[in-house]
Structure 1
Amino acid sequence: MKTQLSILLISLNLLSCNSTGKNSQSEQNKVFTITKITKSGFEKVGNSYKYNFTGEAQNNSVNIYDDVYTTLEVQLELENGSIITERDYDSGLMTGFGDIEKVWKPNETRKIDDHGGLDSDFIPAHYKEYKVKKVVTIFDFDTKDIINHTNNTFTDTIDVTKQWNTL
């Protein structure tokens, strides 16, 4: 009886977690969001592709971030469910420098461009041969908040599957 009660309580807890709309809640509570895309696309560089982005992001929090270092990476989800991340295609070259913003205030929108756009690392051209289900760009906002003595990384994503498929 004790085991059945434990299983019932665990099951109810798990169901309640799923029914709260965790994904939609996290979407609504993103600290930083990409609000405008000025330039977004892949370009062929030798035997690789590179993704370049210029746009704007907003600080949706109540915090002032003294430093925000924004980088991006491209992630490919294959039709078989495998996920290819930057770790899988890391070229080892000095690429993908980020954008640095100082004193980013609450509800403030800033241009993200790193003097010509944020670039991904080089993605091998043969990845185009894989059957891809979805391609996303993941933006990492590494923050330093002096007032609250915290360092956090917040993320936002944009779907670039159509751009990848048209290469």
Structure 2
Amino acid sequence: MSKLAATRAAQVLSKAGIAFTAHVYTYDADADRVALQAAEAVGAAPSCVLKTLMALVDGRAVCLVVPSDRELSMKKVAAAFGGKAAQMMKPADAERSTGYRVGGISPFGQKKQVPTAFEAAALTEDQVYINGGQRGYLVRLAPADAVACLGANSADLVT
């Protein structure tokens, strides 16, 4: 088994019977916006390459999956989880919670599975790219399959 096929994210997708393809690219930690750099690297529209963000809603950890070219609305994030206030999770806390390194955080196979919301607009895409659990590794799959695998809600999360 290759190192990439052995990521927890790839294992979760495989075990769930979710069809996906792996895409490897050169990760640039110095890019202004890493997710946009990933979209360019794989030749995909930024709206099809989704970033995984970790946040806190009323102090509870949540996972957010949104297009790489969009910004979160913290008010909408809080509302999506029935909370009053939302804030981004500190990078070290996100790494500790997920078991992944920032830049390689996947919503699949996190160490502690938390409630997840998927940007509703991304569900209109035929296929999306989501981090596969390692920097420079994306998985391409149907967004509906990703939502089903994660048990995620879809919501309007972006500005």
Q: TM-score, normalised by structure 2?
A: 0.29
Q: Which has the higher contact order (CA 8 A, sep 6+)?
A: 2
**Structure number, greater radius of gyration:** 1
Higher percent of residues as helix = 2
Higher percent of residues as strand = 1
